[in-house]
Amino acid sequence: MSYLDELNDVQRQAVTNTDGPVLVVAGPGSGKTRVLTYRIAHLIEKGTAPWEILALTFTNKAAREMKERIGKVVGPRANRVWAGTFHSIFARILRVEAEKIGYPSNFTIYDSDDSKSVIRSIIQEMNLNKDHYNPNAILSRISSAKSSLITPKLYEKDEELREQDRMAKRPHLHAIYKKYTARCKRSGAMDFDDLLYRLYELFQKNPDNVLDKYREKFKYVLVDEFQDTNHLQYSIIRKFIQYDKSDRNICVVGDDAQSIYAFRGATIQNILDFEKDFEKHGIKVFKLEQNYRSTEHIVQTANEVIGYNRRQIKKTIWSDKGDGHKIKLIKAMTDGEEGQRIADNILEQKNRHHLRNSEIAILYRTNAQSRVFEEYLRRYNIAYKIFGGLSFYQRKEVKDMVAYLRLAVNTMDEEALRRVINYPKRGIGKTTLDKISTVTAQLDKPLWECLGRVQLSKRALGAIADFVAMIKSFQKKAEGENAYEAASYIAKRSGIMDELKADNSVEGINRMENVNALLDGVKAFVEDDTVIDTETIADKSLASYLQNIALLTDLDTKEDENTEYVTLMSVHAAKGLEFKSVFVVGMEEKLFPSFMSLESQDGIDEERRLFYVAITRAEQFLTLSYANSRYRYGQMRYNEPSRFLQEVPLERLEEISGARSSFGSNRPGFMDRSTDNGNSNGSSGARVSGNFKKPDRAVSLGIDPKDFKPNAPTEIQAGMKVLHLKFGEGKVLSIDGGSANRIATIFFKNASDPQQRKIMLKFAKLQIIG
């Protein structure tokens, strides 16, 4: 079996030890996916039927990738492996079994916006103080309750939780949880957590011995990114595998150091528990410690940094790729300067090291940071792509359209109903809706069923009757026609199309295009005949379409034909990816680590793991940067450099950038490393000295801004001597680019690294001096 030759010793062990419980601890870049996929391929080669294998991942992308790579070894059989995200696999099982626990099989899946909206309306209904009852906080509280298998009843009885809520001035949280649950149920809806929780409930109650069916079906279970599983997910996994006569063929793969979703209930406790739970059953542990991705400077920096965390599984990640390039640190005065300097460096790397755009990534802690980088990359004419932010399916117009589709499939879907009952405007306003809501709350029936039972004005009654008739016609279409026929009918008849057509603003046209794109997507769904996964029947109904998109995110939209762009994304989003050159920006206290994490050691530890993830994305070049000041919420804020910067080994750091001289000493602002042994972290507040205000560069160059009179951009020509406020005197070496976008390459004799800079004349202020 040739694929086994592509593995190192430990990897091969992890692949061929197929029976019994296995834990694979896999460092970054250690070939984790390869092990997982080859293990599955190996199982199939040795005679296991693909559909007897269950492989759980966290992202659609990971699942897709896995199937692809299995396919390369075993061929199209790979498609019949039950490989998918926790949510999608469980949803698939629930579609079949939901009625056993009182849900319709065509249940709606609520995304977190829907969940929040439910919570908002409950808060309103209960007349609670909005200042203390923040939907985000409440949802996360409910979510973690579910993830810990705490039902509303248990929550009510749990004094500790209740006390926490009282302390946070939201004593009625348990009541909200209860109502929320009831409301989802009467809407025939499951939120993301329910897809897990209801499956657990199903297995726990075990009607018709449904659990046995799945235990027998799945002979082998594999879990990717095990460190990101929560208690609930592990409980379900145990249901599948941990019982009397089980062979316990389970393999989990994970890295405790890369656990960055604790804020969503993930717990590395699961890894520790796993070892304990399967101790008696001959658990085998394999550690993948060789990093095939990065150079030693990068790997050792990562090792050093993560060493500051408490509690971790012992492992030594190493690389045989040689030292490579040192890690760069860029110090900037402002966020704007940071943006420019990063763009400068990207340009330089492209020139000097011949990197392509696609080999470069800028990673930040928060999505809001992308703006400045966008600005400068655009100026420099470097193609880039921003990931994250609002996804296609979260756009208002798309959600509106989808809400109609959802309603046509499941009229119990209250969130969809509320969303569109008066959009486009049809005279069913707040007052009417309030009256209906009151009745709904009394009867505890789906809102849809209450529409006819409310005392209302003639006008309102008429409007509602029209609306109901319309939705019923949609329902008929959804049942009788394929998804595209139904959807395009609904788009027209609902009035959405007319509403959008009427708006001729740029945004309006954009919205129209988005709805059309959605319809195109439906069409593609109907026409697409590729088999996505096992036993997928050619169900082209609207219901089937909705099931398909509910669990898709942004990344489903097909890749741009042009892939030559610099990647901009949050560190979270970068997990699992790799780039030749990585810029980790905004390395400042209160930003990275985030201010929300500063209160607890656990919080800091998680941020550090996040930093670890960021570092280990880089193959050859790693650049860190921070700014002394940046705009936040429209206000200038001063931040100290991130504590994590002090944890980067000095000897692996390259002192660079024009800023060096203005700092004076070797590592200005950082206290001597020896006084900080990593255990005294808690009281770090005063550790970083405040000497970060650089003298104004212009002043230090001896130029008085008053004497500086910049010339018009068009006057600048190659060969001229010019003066720049920041960089001082320089010589224009060449000029590229068209009239409006002329870029000058200028050599500044007094600037340090890089002395040669490309400057967009349109924006630059240069004075000709000769």
> What values do phi and psi take at 362, rounded to 5?
-110, 125
What's the length of the chain? Answer: 770
Q: Which of 147, 410, 548, 570 binds DNA (CB under 7 A)?
A: 570
Q: Which is nearer to DNA, 329 or 604 (CB)?
A: 604
Q: How far is the CB of 572 from DNA (least distance, A)?
A: 4
Q: How far is the CB of 422 from DNA (least distance, A)?
A: 5
- Catalytic annotation present for 445: no
Q: Which of residues 31-50 bind DNA (CB under 7 A)?
A: none
Peptide bond into 754 cis (omega under 30): yes
- Which residue from 115, 80, 108 is spatially nearest to 94, judged by alpha carbons? 108
580 forms part of the interface with DNA (CB under 7 A):
no
Q: Which of residues 415-434 bind DNA (CB under 7 A)?
A: 422, 425-432
- Which residue from 703, 689, 700, 624 is spatially nearest to 662, judged by alpha carbons? 700
438 assigned binding-site residue = no
263 forms part of the interface with DNA (CB under 7 A):
yes
Q: How far is the CB of 699 from DNA (least distance, A)?
A: 27
Instruction: Say which DSSP state 391 is in.
Output: -
Q: Which helix (H) or strand (E) holds 578?
A: none
Out of 37, 181, 258, 369, which one is annotated catalytic? 258
Q: How far is the CB of 190 from DNA (least distance, A)?
A: 11
388 forms part of the interface with DNA (CB under 7 A):
yes
61 forms part of the interface with DNA (CB under 7 A):
yes
Q: Are 71 and 36 in contact (CB under 8 A)?
A: no
Spatial distance between the Cα atoms of 486 and 170, rounded to a whole number of angstroms:
44
Residue 329 buriedness (CB in 10 A; 0-12 / 13-18 / 19+): buried
- Catalytic annotation present for 238: no
Q: What is the DSSP string of 279-342?
A: GGGT-EEEEE-B-SSS-HHHHHHHHHHHTTSSS------B--S---SPEEEEEEEEHHHHHHHH
Residue 168 buriedness (CB in 10 A; 0-12 / 13-18 / 19+): middle
Q: Are 374 and 443 in contact (CB under 8 A)?
A: no
Q: Which is nearer to DNA, 368 or 733 (CB)?
A: 368
Spatial distance between the Cα atoms of 486 and 475, rounded to a whole number of angstroms:
9
Q: How far is the CB of 507 from DNA (least distance, A)?
A: 10
Please name the amino acid found at residue 720: M
756 forms part of the interface with DNA (CB under 7 A):
no
169 forms part of the interface with DNA (CB under 7 A):
no
Please list, residue by residue across 689-699, b when 16 or more beta carbons sit within 10 angstroms of its beta carbon and e when fewer do: eeebebeebbe
- Catalytic annotation present for 224: yes
Q: How far is the CB of 432 from DNA (least distance, A)?
A: 4
Residue 181 vs residues 166, 175, 327, 414, 551: alpha-carbon distances, Å? 21, 10, 50, 13, 20
Q: Which is nearer to DNA, 263 or 763 (CB)?
A: 263
596 forms part of the interface with DNA (CB under 7 A):
yes
Q: Which of 82, 103, 261, 274 binds DNA (CB under 7 A)?
A: 261
Q: Give 457's contacts (C-beta < 8 A, 6+ positions apart).
A: none
502 forms part of the interface with DNA (CB under 7 A):
no
Out of 18, 33, 312, 756, which one is annotated catalytic? 33
130 forms part of the interface with DNA (CB under 7 A):
yes
Q: How far is the CB of 531 from DNA (least distance, A)?
A: 20
Q: Which of residues 205-234 bind DNA (CB under 7 A)?
A: 225, 228
Out of 111, 165, 225, 499, which one is annotated catalytic? 225
Q: Which of 13, 312, 475, 594 binds DNA (CB under 7 A)?
A: 594
Q: Which is nearer to DNA, 59 or 269 (CB)?
A: 59
∠ CA 349-352-358, rounded to 5°: 40
Q: Are 177 and 142 in contact (CB under 8 A)?
A: yes
Spatial distance between the Cα atoms of 380 and 743, rounded to a whole number of angstroms:
8
Q: How far is the CB of 86 from DNA (least distance, A)?
A: 7
Peptide bond into 424 cis (omega under 30): yes
∠ CA 429-431-435, rounded to 5°: 120
Q: Are 464 and 456 in contact (CB under 8 A)?
A: yes
286 forms part of the interface with DNA (CB under 7 A):
no
718 forms part of the interface with DNA (CB under 7 A):
no
Helices then strands, each counted (H, E), the chain: 29, 21
Q: Are 248 and 21 in contact (CB under 8 A)?
A: yes
Q: Which of these ranges, 45-53, 259-267, 647-655, 710-718, lies near DNA under the rule CB under 7 A? A: 259-267
Residue 763 buriedness (CB in 10 A; 0-12 / 13-18 / 19+): exposed
- Which residue from 541, 546, 536, 618 is spatially nearest to 577, judged by alpha carbons? 618
Q: Which of 100, 120, 385, 765 binds DNA (CB under 7 A)?
A: 120
Out of 32, 67, 418, 652, which one is annotated catalytic? 32
Binding mask 337-376 for DNA (x = CB under 7 A): ----------------------------xxxx--------
Q: Which is nearer to DNA, 388 or 668 (CB)?
A: 388
Q: Give 516's contacts (C-beta < 8 A, 6+ positions apart).
A: none
Q: Which is nearer to DNA, 200 or 692 (CB)?
A: 200
Q: Which is nearer to DNA, 264 or 673 (CB)?
A: 264
26 assigned binding-site residue = yes
**The tokens of 170 are what?**
């939201």
- Catalytic annotation present for 258: yes
Rg of the chain's alpha carbons, rounded to an integer? 29
Collapsing DSSP states into helix, strand and coil, what is residue 146? helix
Q: Which is nearer to DNA, 225 or 359 (CB)?
A: 225
Out of 238, 287, 399, 617, which one is annotated catalytic? 617
Size of interface with DNA, in residues (CB under 7 A): 57
719 forms part of the interface with DNA (CB under 7 A):
no
Spatial distance between the Cα atoms of 520 and 526, rounded to a whole number of angstroms:
10
- Catalytic annotation present for 32: yes
Q: Which is nearer to DNA, 358 or 553 (CB)?
A: 553
Q: Which is nearer to DNA, 329 or 568 (CB)?
A: 568
Q: How far is the CB of 146 from DNA (least distance, A)?
A: 11
Spatial distance between the Cα atoms of 648 and 618, rounded to a whole number of angstroms:
15
Other Cβ atoms less than 10 A from the Cβ of 452: the count is 11
575 forms part of the interface with DNA (CB under 7 A):
yes
33 assigned binding-site residue = yes
Q: Which of residues 187-206 bind DNA (CB under 7 A)?
A: 192
Q: Which of 386, 439, 573, 701 binds DNA (CB under 7 A)?
A: 573
147 assigned binding-site residue = no
Q: Which of residues 433-492 bind DNA (CB under 7 A)?
A: 460
**The tokens of 11 are what?**
């990897």
Out of 97, 191, 194, 224, which one is annotated catalytic? 224
31 assigned binding-site residue = yes
**The tokens of 272 are what?**
């520790």
Q: How far is the CB of 141 from DNA (least distance, A)?
A: 12
- Catalytic annotation present for 609: no
Q: Give 531's contacts (C-beta < 8 A, 6+ positions apart).
A: 79
Q: Which is nearer to DNA, 41 or 56 (CB)?
A: 56
594 assigned binding-site residue = no
User: Position of tokens 């629930």?
Assistant: 94
Q: How far is the CB of 88 from DNA (least distance, A)?
A: 5
662 forms part of the interface with DNA (CB under 7 A):
no
Spatial distance between the Cα atoms of 39 and 69, rounded to a whole number of angstroms:
11
Q: How far is the CB of 460 from DNA (least distance, A)?
A: 5
Binding residues: 26-33
Binding residues for ATP: 26-33
Name the residues annotated as catalytic: 32-33, 224-225, 258, 617
Residues in the site for DNA, rule: CB under 7 A? 58-61, 85, 87-88, 112, 120, 124, 130-131, 134, 136, 192, 225, 228, 260-261, 263-264, 266, 365-368, 388, 391, 396, 422, 425-432, 460, 551-555, 569-570, 572-573, 575, 594, 596-597, 603, 607, 631, 633-634
